[in-house]
A and B are shown apart, each in its own frame.
Chain A
Amino acid sequence: MRFKAQIQNITTFTKFVASLTSLGPVAWVRLNENDVRFTIIPEQGTQVWAVLAIDAIFEGYTIQSAAENVINLEVPLGPLHQALKSALQATAASIRLTKKDNIPLLSITIVRNSIGNARQSASEDDDGGIGIGLSRERETTITQDVPVRVLSPSKVEGIHEPRCRDPDVHIILPPLMQLKSISDRFTKVALESRSVTAGLSAIGPRLEMAANMHGCLRLGIKTDAMKMASLWTGLDNPELDPSHLEGGMEEIQQHPSTRMKQLGGPDGQSEEGWAKVRLDGKDWGKVMSVGRLGGRVIACFCHEHALILYVYLPSERDEEESALTYYISSYSA
């Protein structure tokens, strides 16, 4: 079993891992010849299934395993994130799967110019003592060992990405910074009001989120002392691409979102044609952590059922896109 690669886009990889870290401590990582997949399935809360195109992050990617060159690992995200953070200033960084003291590790080796570079050192060289090439003379090497567990193919074969019915409304979310800032405030309000009437309710604060096919998104919360809602208008409802649907144009005609679009007035302010979900405020706050990647986010609303977010990593190359998919269940009222 072999895996090693140069990490060429450390910043994106670090942000990617940071986004996932908020959702769960451990990820199932599946490496193969085409891509790297990170999946987090927490006992409660949002699932995320992420695909990284190899080119988006790595260089010189090599993988080998008895199981058709697929390696499945369980990786603790906190330590991985910490290790990657120390690579942000690196001149070079690489990652490989190795074993020390019988523990499998993802070992990240980081080379950076030592901070003493500016200092003049008169004595080296002539002494001829150290015998290390001059170019490496001023480098600091940092090795970060992240302990992992190797999963056998049988252990992961039963895990499948959730399936969901066609969404009623799909919409491009406003900048997540806005959305996060407002939803975090709502959650805080709800938590505060609960602490006043402490213990009365075991349920976490519920945010109500709704959108229509006329570019409107609404986020709201209700407590004993107040009712609060923010409304965005003028957002984009992306067109469905007939080439991606089996039934082509005909299926689009039948698509629930097409029917939803017929509901509600053109200004989108009517109460009809909205698809609504109820989210756990704290869990949603964790999902919003993905905003750091700065990608485009399409939200798909299945009314009273689920919210699915597709977060696309910004990339220069348009081919194989890297994306994170969040599956968020709606709570009942």
Chain B
Amino acid sequence: MSDTQSRPMFSAVSGSARQLFLLLRCIGFSPKTRVQITEDELRFIAEEGGVMQGTAILQKALFTSFQFTPPASHVHEEGHEDGEADADKFIVFEISLSALLDTLQIFGLGDSKSSTFNRDPYTSTAFSAPVLGVTGLCRLSYASVGAPFTIVLQESGITTTSELVTYEPSSNAADIPFTRDQIAIKVIMRAAYLYDAISELASANPERLVLAADDSTFTLSASSSLGSAVVEFHRDNSRSQYASTVDQPGAGVMETFFVPEEFKQVYHFSRVVGVKKALSVASKVSVRADNQGVLSLQFMIENLEGGGVSFVDFRFIPLADDEDGSESDRDYEEGETAETADE
């Protein structure tokens, strides 16, 4: 830490560790995360098995101060001589995500998981759960390439300092490509409904999740040794075969429904279930798939303070569909045309 005296490469202050925690927890399915810092945002990218990727974006606006000085020249000795990093003016490294999450909730006991100790009314002090929450002041900093990623939290006269060892990102860290201009399906709905549907299917612990849609219905289904379960969202309530007995005008749960032609893809259920945390805090979710079947789930999460929203983004590579190969082309080559443009 030779250059700690000089201005750190990156430093930011947030008034709410809880806000950062809520967003980062969404991608907590992986123990590690890639951190990408630019002048406008902090980006945390977690991935699993090359088929699932989650990105939490902490915009500059979430911080009361946000300062980033890109390195003048890239100091890595090996690799990256192409100057790619310089050109994009960002730095990237890996840290332990679980350690970061634990740090951010150091003053709280996490969600709803209250021990018997905590429940005991006799020990309630000024610091029991509600007060000793994750709301404190939080300073993030990264002094220089190779230095630890440092978090300092202050609350109730306690100062907690955490230094996370930074690692070079693994060389095969590549984003899952999603072809925005070749959209096969786009549905925007309230996150709570998708949450409910996925929990419903999850109870049987299935292996595969089938997403399907036609011009009127968006369907999630899964089967297991216990049987099969299907959740259907009807675009227009009144057209539903099982019309609601209660008359609710405009009652569909989907605010955007774009399905140019019948769609069906299969995904790893256990992976998709990894979005549960995101679904539980998001207000809306945008479900999209490109013509290669890559699934993109974008979660809109309302900020705790100051209005505004943040986004967490997930991508999934589909499973080969053995039973119905008509739509499957798993090679991610560009070129197949979808005659419809996004929106």
Query: Chain A: residues with CB nearer than 8 A to chain B?
Result: 11, 15, 174-178, 180-182, 185, 188-189, 192-193, 196, 223-234, 288-289, 291-294
Contacts and interface: CB of A to CB of B under 8 A. Distances in A.
A226 B99 CA distance: 7
A233 B125 contact: no
A226 B162 contact: yes
14 contacts: A15-B122, A175-B125, A178-B156, A181-B109, A185-B106, A193-B99, A196-B31, A225-B164, A226-B96, A226-B99, A228-B103, A231-B158, A292-B123, A294-B122
Given A15-B122, A178-B156, A292-B123, 20 more contacts: A175-B125, A175-B127, A177-B117, A177-B123, A177-B132, A181-B109, A181-B132, A182-B158, A192-B99, A192-B102, A193-B99, A196-B31, A226-B162, A228-B106, A228-B160, A228-B162, A228-B163, A231-B161, A291-B123, A294-B123
A95 B158 CA distance: 44
B105 A185 contact: yes
A294 B121 CA distance: 10
A161 to B, nearest CB: 27
Contacts of A185: 102, 105-106
Given A175-B127, A229-B161, A232-B157, A181 B99 contact: no
Contact of B102 (A180, A188, A289): A188
Interface string B84-123: 0000000000011011001101111100000001101011
Interface residues of B, number: 33
Interface of B: 31, 95-96, 98-99, 102-103, 105-109, 117-118, 120, 122-123, 125-128, 132, 148, 156-165
A174 B109 CA distance: 17
Given A177-B132, A181-B109, A230-B160, A225 B96 contact: yes
Given A226-B99, A234-B157, A177 B165 contact: no
Contacts of A178: 125, 127, 132, 156, 158
Given A188-B102, A291-B117, A226 B123 contact: no
Contacts of A293: 122
B165 to A, nearest CB: 5
Nearest to B96: A225
A314 B302 CA distance: 45
Residue of A181, A189, A293 contacting most chain B CB atoms (<10 Å)? A181
Contacts, number: 96
A292 B117 contact: yes
Residue of A180, A185, A289, A294 contacting most chain B CB atoms (<10 Å)? A185
B102 A189 contact: yes
List the 10 closest pairs (A to B, CB-CB), nearest first: A225-B96, A230-B160, A228-B162, A175-B125, A226-B99, A227-B163, A189-B102, A231-B159, A226-B164, A178-B127
A224 B105 CA distance: 20
Contacts of B95: 225
Nearest to B166: A225
Nearest to A192: B98
Given A15-B122, A231-B159, A292-B122, A177 B128 contact: yes
A197 to B, nearest CB: 11
Contacts of A189: 98-99, 102
Contacts of B160: 182, 228-231
B102 A223 contact: no
Contacts of B126: 175
A3 B54 CA distance: 65
Nearest to B149: A226
A6 to B, nearest CB: 22
A233 B105 CA distance: 21
A78 B300 CA distance: 48
Nearest to B126: A175
Contacts of A233: 157, 159
Given A182-B158, A225-B165, A193 B96 contact: yes
Contacts of A234: 157
B270 to A, nearest CB: 19
A223 B95 CA distance: 13
B86 to A, nearest CB: 28
A296 to B, nearest CB: 12
B315 to A, nearest CB: 25
A182 B157 CA distance: 14
Contact of A224 (B109, B132, B165): B165
Contacts of B105: 185
A82 B117 CA distance: 16
Contacts of B117: 177, 180, 288-289, 291-292
Nearest to A12: B122
A177 B127 contact: yes
B193 to A, nearest CB: 33
Contacts of B127: 175, 177-178
B138 to A, nearest CB: 14
Contacts of B122: 11, 15, 292-294
Contacts of A288: 117
Contacts of B120: 15, 292
A181 B123 contact: no
Contacts of B103: 226, 228
Nearest to A224: B165
